Structure 1
Amino acid sequence: MNNSASFALNRPGYSAKLLKPEDAAVLQSLYEQCTEFALLTDGQLPSPMAARDEFDAVPDGKTTQDKYIFGLFNPQNDLLGMIESIRHYPDNQTWWLGLMMLSPEQRGQGLGSEFYQAFENWVSAQGVKQVSLSVVEANELGLQFWKSLGFKVIRKTEPRQFGNKTHAVYVMSRPVETTV
């Protein structure tokens, strides 16, 4: 397994670094820049502890050792985005992407696609066969984004509660070419 705590993008000076709980304050700032996502999914602003809580939230059967949160940094070392993921979930052949955020002023310039592709390249070195994720039905732009990257809808779930809102969820997956 590749234990490198960072990976580069194809943009000069841009990189992704593994975030640790002590980075919660800078991550919280990104959450507060991306309030429209919280309002879309949960119907409420992110809590003041949203970033801190992100480091501890894991699915049943997983530990915080299975969680990877990568921050996307520009050449000035400003946090522009993040990817939260769980290794070997829901099975040993899959890497689950739980959340990807990009600051609003960075969107629409190809940076999100480049960030994801660099993440997938890093994940491929971990020997998994696919990346899976979910998109709430109301997030039409998110659904289009993931489809543009080759993700396919595997199933649609029954509606469930997210904060103050209820959503059906599209579970999506994409095969990964393993590089090990």
Structure 2
Amino acid sequence: MNNSASFALNRPSYLVKLLKTEDAVVLQTLYEQCTEFALLTDGQPPSPTAARDEFDAVPDGKTTEDKYIFGLFDPQNDLIGMIESIRHYPDDQTWWLGLMMLSPKQRGRGLGSEFYQAFENWVSAQAVKQVSLSVVEANELGLQFWKKLGFEVIRKTEPQQFGNKTHAVYVMRGAVAVTV
């Protein structure tokens, strides 16, 4: 397994590094910049402990040792994006991407796609065959973003509760390109 805690994008001076619990304060700022996502999915702004809670939230059968939260830092070393993922979930050949956020000021310039591609390149070194994720039905832009990156919908769930809202969820899967 590649234990490197950072990787680079193809943009000079942009760096992705593994976030730790002590980074919760700076991550909380990103959550608050992305309030529109929380309103879309949960119908309420992110809680004051949303970032801290992210470090501890894991699915049944997994531990915090299986969780990787990567932060994307710009040339000024400001956190402008994050990817939260769980290794070997729901099976040993898959990484689950639980959340990807990019500061609204950074969107629309290809940075999100590059961030995901850098993550996928890193994951490919973990001998994983695919990445899975889910998108709430109301997040049409998110669904289109993931489809452009080659993800396909494998199923749609029954509606479920997210904060103050109820959504059906598209479960998606994308093959990981093998790096040599």
Q: Compute the TM-score of the two structures, normalised by the length of structure 1.
A: 0.99
CA distance in 2, matches of 1:158, 1:99: 20
Matches within 5 A, 1:19-168: 19-168=19-168
Matched with 1:169 is 169
Conserved? CA contact 1:69–1:82, under 8 Å: yes
CA distance in 1, matches of 2:176, 2:149: 12
Gaps of 5+ in 2: none
CA distance in 2, matches of 1:132, 1:16: 20
CA offsets 1:97-150 (integer angstroms, 9 cap, x no match): 000000000000000000000000000000000000000000000000000000
CA distance in 1, matches of 2:90, 2:179: 21
CA distance in 2, matches of 1:8, 1:36: 28
CA distance in 2, matches of 1:2, 1:121: 11
Q: C-alpha displacement at 1:75, in angstroms? A: 1.0
Conserved? CA contact 1:72–1:81, under 8 Å: yes
Conserved? CA contact 2:120–2:177, under 8 Å: no
Q: Compute the TM-score of the two structures, normalised by the length of structure 2.
A: 0.99
Q: How many residues align?
A: 180
Counterpart residue type for residue 117 of structure 1: Q
CA distance in 1, matches of 2:176, 2:36: 30
> For the aligned residues, what is the CA RMSD?
0.7
Give me the identity figure in percent.
87
